[in-house]
Amino acid sequence: MIIVLKPSAAESDAREILDRIAEAGLKPLHMPGVERTVIGALGDERRLGALHFESHPAVERVDEILAPYKAVSREMHPTDTVVSIGKVPVGGEGFAVFGGPCAVEGRDAFAMTARAVADGGAHGLRGGAFKPRTSPYSFQGLGLEGLEILRDVGRELGLPTITEVVEVADVDAVESHADAFQVGARNMQNFRLLTALGQASRPVILKRGMAASVEDLLMAAEYILSEGNQNVIFCERGIRTFEKGTRNTLDLSAVCQLKAKSHLPVLVDPSHGTGVRAYVTPMAFAAAACGADGILVEVHHDPKRALSDGAQSLFPEQFTDLVTRLRPFVAAAGRHL
Ligand code: PEP
Ligand code: MN
């Protein structure tokens, strides 16, 4: 439910209403705006009806949020939210570019790719330390050692870092080493993990599950926001379809849907979205054109030797070329790199 206060409402009116929402056992959300304050109430709306806020002298109107997701919805928050990863804003007028290898494979290897990605124009680094692999015999990531490498190299280059968290037990370790959590496609509906991340303080990049609808993704984000952490960024990374020519089908219409239905920023991952190196750059351009707030791209200093996702990883010079040729698409979408 959204409670819109009159422009004349005082801070004390907002406080009183927030307290009464909390006393009724719902979660209050305080959203002070330039012209007026909006208050959200999350939870069982039947309990709110009994409070009759519509007749409160400081209240202009009370609106029901019809969508099943509440804090995530644009109804709750009509303007775009900008979520910062380190000092890099995601959302708003800029277009954010994050690059790096699928996995942190070692200190020298990661430093080499990271330096190339930084020189190529990336705003931040990606690299998995905990890798959820289809086969138990595939490289599973360096774990804590990978986190330390990611942190050290990110600091040396002055770039914020993103890494995947795969279980609740690792949340604290990831939070103390990286600037943003990534929730992978395979964990999008790991509700215990989402709840734990809702209580964490770093931003969360929430990737779409490979068999998840856009509404499933919005509901997954609601788990995080309803626990307190408002800093969620969606990531469209392709879904499973009958198409065999690509690893996944990159659903760019999901970007438009997410933008229409939610105030949260949206990234596109054209690497997992196609699985084919040659298709990554054109789909990155398409992501900028359809209104995404940035991209997450896999790059490797020697893709043929990569321990995971080599076939979709760009060579460093291809990444530099991508960023250079991305500029006109970003400008056409009314943004800047
Ligand atoms: C990744 O980013 O390397 C990854 C495993 O992505 P996804 O969860 O989208 O498959
Ligand atoms: Mn990968």
Ligand 1: does its nearest atom lie under 6 Å from the Cβ of 185? yes
Q: Is 60 helix (H, G, I), strand (E, B) or coil?
A: strand
pLDDT value at residue 276? 98
User: What b-and-e string marks burial along 242-276, b requiring 16 or more CB atoms within 10 Å of the CB?
Assistant: eeeebbbbbbbebbebbbebbbbbbbbbbbbbbbe
* Total Cβ atoms within 10 A of residue 98: 27
Name the pLDDT band for 293 (thresholds 50, 70, 90). very high
Computed over its alpha carbons, how large is the radius of gyration of the chain?
21
Residues of the chain with CATH 3.20.20.70: 83-332
128 CA: nearest ligand 1 atom = 3
163 alpha carbon, closest ligand: 1
101 CA from centroid of ligand 2 (Å)? 8
* Total Cβ atoms within 10 A of residue 59: 18
Which residue is closest in CA terms to ligand 1's atom 9? 185
131 alpha carbon, closest ligand: 1
Name the pLDDT band for 90 (thresholds 50, 70, 90). very high
Beta bridge partners of 163: 181
Which residue is closest in CA terms to ligand 1's atom 4? 184
% of the chain exceeding 90 in pLDDT: 92
Which are the contacts of 272, defined by CB distance < 8 A and separation ≥ 6?
185, 237, 238, 247, 248, 298, 309, 312
Ligand 1: does its nearest atom lie under 6 Å from the Cβ of 208? no
182 CA: nearest ligand 1 atom = 2
* Total Cβ atoms within 10 A of residue 282: 13
pTM: 0.94
H or E element at residue 219: helix 214-225
Quickly list H helices, 79-135: 107-119
Q: List Cα–Cα distances, 169 to 128, 146, 165, 166, 254, in angstroms.
A: 16, 16, 9, 9, 31
pLDDT value at residue 289? 98
103 CA from centroid of ligand 2 (Å)? 7
pLDDT tens figures, 190-249: 999 999 999 999 999 999 999 999 999 999 999 999 999 999 999 999 999 999 999 999
CATH number of 2-63: 3.30.70.1140
- Fold assignment, 83-332: TIM Barrel (3.20.20)
Neighbours of ion ligand 2 (CB under 5 A): 102, 309
Residue 45: pLDDT over 80: no
131, 174, 233, 269: residue to mutate for ligand 1 pocket, most atoms within 8 A of CB: 269
Looking at residue 193, the DSSP 8-state letter turns out to be H
Residues of the chain with CATH 3.30.70.1140: 2-63
**Nearest by Cα to 313 from 266, 263, 285, 279:** 279
H or E element at residue 90: strand 88-90
Ligand 1: does its nearest atom lie under 6 Å from the Cβ of 272? yes
